[in-house]
Each structure stands twice: as structure tokens, then as C-alpha cells.
A and B are shown apart, each in its own frame.
Chain A
Amino acid sequence: MQVPRFWREIPRYYRLEAAACVQCDAIHFPPRKICPSCGANAFETVRLSGRGALTTFTIIRTPPSGFTDQAPYAVGIVELDEGVRLMAQITDCDVDTLKTGDRMIAKFRRIREEGRTGVIMYGYKFVPDVGV
């Protein structure tokens, strides 16, 4: 991923900024310009809580290029308390005891880097919410 494409997404990757439809209150992450729920096109920017529950997950053991040295790693879908579902890595977890329904909290982590000398891309990952 080239720098401009990553940089453009910083409000979403760093701060979980979503779009709340002013007409029907549906929250969309990533933000959209047309509400798929009601068709409206006016939104307010809101920051997601980053707290929710794991709905499903897998352990990636055969990674794509760029993630070779991270494997095995967990990727899952988390449903946040505000109802928004998003996909992310689950880190700081024991992949053998992870289970659906586990409470999750978003943390700021390195996602990947452009080789050893390139830019470092940061963003959200989830960790099991154990109160720390």
C-alpha cells in the first residue's frame, strides 16, 4: 500500500471515525456518502467506542505477502456496542482459547510496514477486554 492511500484513511485507522446518518441515525464504518439504509446523503462524523464482542474469527496461517512474519494471527469480525461490525486482527490473545462472544476492545497497533525501510502503517486491532 502506498503512502497516500494509507494517509487518506488515517481518521478511520487511527480514530475509528464513522459516519452517522442524520436522517436515520445508522452508523457506517467506513463512512459512506450515501446511506444504504435510507438513501440520505448527510452525515455527522462520530468516533466509535472500540468496545464490542467477537462474532466470528479465524487464524491466518498462510498469510499474504506483507504479513509473512506475523503469521499465525487471528482476524475476526467484531460487533461494536453501537451495532457497527468491522473486521480487524485480534492481537494479544491466545489463538487456541479465543472464542466467539468474547468481549473486545480496540487498541492502536502496527498493522504492517513497507519492508524494513518503508513507512509503518498503524491502525486498530482488537484485544480481549480483560480490564487492562
Chain B
Amino acid sequence: MVGIVGYGTQIPRYRIRVEDIASVWGADAPSYKRGLNLNEKSVPGPDEDTATLSVNAARNALLRAGIDPQLIGAVYVGSESHPYAVKPTGTIVSEALGACPRVHTADLEFACKAGTEGLFIALHEVQSGVITHALAIGADTSQGAPGDALEYSAAAGAAAFIVGSEDLIAELLTTDVYMTDTADFWRREHTPYPEHGGRFTGVPAYFRHVTGAAKAIMDRAEMAPEDFDYCIFHQPNGKFPVQVARKLGFTEEQWAPGLLSPTLGNTYSGSSPMGLAATLDVANPGAHILLVSYGSGAGSDAFIFRTTERLSDVRDRAPHTRTQLDEYRVHIPYGTYAKFRRKILKAE
């Protein structure tokens, strides 16, 4: 048996409303709000980045797991906004948790699915018996170019999962994957903001891969949508995950607990992992959960978990994701946002 023994999230305190971005660029806020089901997004403070969000989320995961950090044999940090181009985020995270020095680490990048990539590797590595525990984190402080459609959704947050083979709170039943070479979104080396294929990111990219991975894993597990208590699909906005869930035959009560994007935005590598964390905050023991990520470029990882009795014992040891989202927020104007995100810089 392998699965999750602890989980935790971190969401920055700051939010910006879609209206406040739209008013700067003369864009139509209602079309973003209705069309993409986006109301506001999280903004990292000036002293936050992928490393800090990762550490703070992982500390919450450790509180729930209740294990000695020295047991962690591997740390994977998936992100498209690692603070350094060269120098791992994973070393910072491992040191801050107290997992060094006998810990393997790798920074992963696969657009929005780098977080589940880490989870995928961690689960299978622990399953192999090489190590007893691994930590997988999906975290981002993603940036959209000023005025670009992505600016309305590119948000910040992190989810961390400690994987083990004993004292599970959610057992892994199976994984699957669906991946092709599809350039729907990218960022070249030494450029600050990503570019994307506009409507091309929809049908041939997001929907094809998410649907492909979801169908593949359900076939493999011989399960149908009605066999699941919850589903989480990557949430680049509030519209895509609902559309794909409906198309596959899921219902609102299955996706609603994990759907954070309408008020969180797209936390990229943190997106579907944070949805999983929010779902674990409310799931009953024995619940079946389908998780399907999506990363541009493009691919989807799929997982099926079944929660255990232990989940309800540990979930209150750390703040719930929804509490962080709903109760820890201060709205900032665009000028403050531009300063925090270093779109404008003060002279030294």
C-alpha cells in the first residue's frame, strides 16, 4: 500500500479583483467573470516565492503527517516559477524542513502539471520500497504579461503531500497519464512572461489531454464517474474544469469541494493539487477521489485515491485550504499588485 500520509497548503494573503485588472487595461470585466468564472486571484506578497510557499505548505503537511522530517527520502518541487534558473528550490525546502542531508531532490517543470509530476514520482518511488517517505509539492507564483488574458488568472499558492506506506490518510489505487507534444503555452529562456495559443489551449490541448487521462484511468480501474465521491480537474479558470467534468459525466457535488479557481485563480503547478487538498479537508473515510492535472506542452497525470479513517484524525492539525482562501485575504489595487509582482521597481 502506498498513499498520502500528510498534506498542506499555503495561499498568500493578498487578492486582486478581476475588475481592478480590467479597469487598468480597459477590458470588459463581466466577460472574464461570466465567461471564465473568475472573480479574483491570489497575489504573493513581495517576500513570497515558490520556495517560501512550498516550505509553509510542507510544514502544514508535516503537522498532519506527524513524522520526523529526517524520514523524508525525496523532495520534489514542481513549479514554473522556481526562484532561481539554476539552483534547486528543493534544497531550500529540504533544509527548512530539516530533511537534509540524506534526501534526494529534484525541481520539476511541466507548466501546470509539475506538481502532480512530483506526486507521481513520489508515489511510485515509495511504492518501489527504495525510501519510506517522499514529499511532493506543487507551487507557483505565476505571472501573466500585463494586460494579457493570463493576467486575470495567474495566481500563487502551494500544496504539499507527504507520501508513505503506513498510516495513510488516502491510499493510492492507481495512476495513469496522457501526454503528447502540443505547444499551447510556453515561456522561452530569459523571457519574463509566457505566451500562449489563445483558443488553441482549449479543445486540442486542455480538453483532449484531461479527457484522455480521465478516461484511461477509469478504464484501467474499471470505474465510472458515479463510482467517485469527488473529482478534481486542473483549474486554469473556473470554467474549463466544470466543462470537462460535465462532459465526462460528473456532477457538481463531486467537483465543488475541490473547485478553488473562481476566487483563487490558477496557481499553475499548485492548481489541481490544492483542489485535492481542499477535497481531503472535507472527504469522509472510504471516499474515492479522481485527480487529473494538466500541463501545457502538453499532458495530464491521473490518480485515484481512497481515503482512510485516519484522515479525519489529522485534518484539523493544520489550517484547511478553504479557510486560507476565504478567511485570509486582503484586496489590493493594481498599483500595489504591480509593485508586489515587480512589474514596477523603486529606484535604489
Interface residues of A (CB under 8 A from B): 10, 14-15, 47, 65, 68-70, 89, 91-92, 94, 107-111, 120, 122, 125, 127, 130-132
Contact = CB atoms under 8 A, between A and B. Distances in A.
Given A70-B47, A122-B51, A132 B96 contact: no
Nearest to B325: A132
B46 A14 contact: no
Interface of B: 13, 45-49, 51-52, 55-56, 59, 83-84, 92, 95-96, 98, 319, 323-324, 327-328, 330, 339, 345-348
A68 B95 CA distance: 28
A108 B53 CA distance: 8
Contacts of A94: 330
A131 B339 CA distance: 27
Contacts, number: 63
3 smallest CB-CB distances across A and B, nearest first, come from: A108-B55, A132-B328, A109-B47
Contacts of A91: 45, 47
- Scoring A10, A68, A108, A111 by chain B CB atoms within 10 A of each residue's CB, the highest score goes to A108
A111 B49 CA distance: 11
Contact of B95 (A10, A109, A132): A10
Contacts of B84: 120
B92 A122 contact: yes
Contacts of A108: 51-52, 55-56, 59, 96
A130 B326 CA distance: 13
Contacts of B345: 69
A57 B328 CA distance: 22
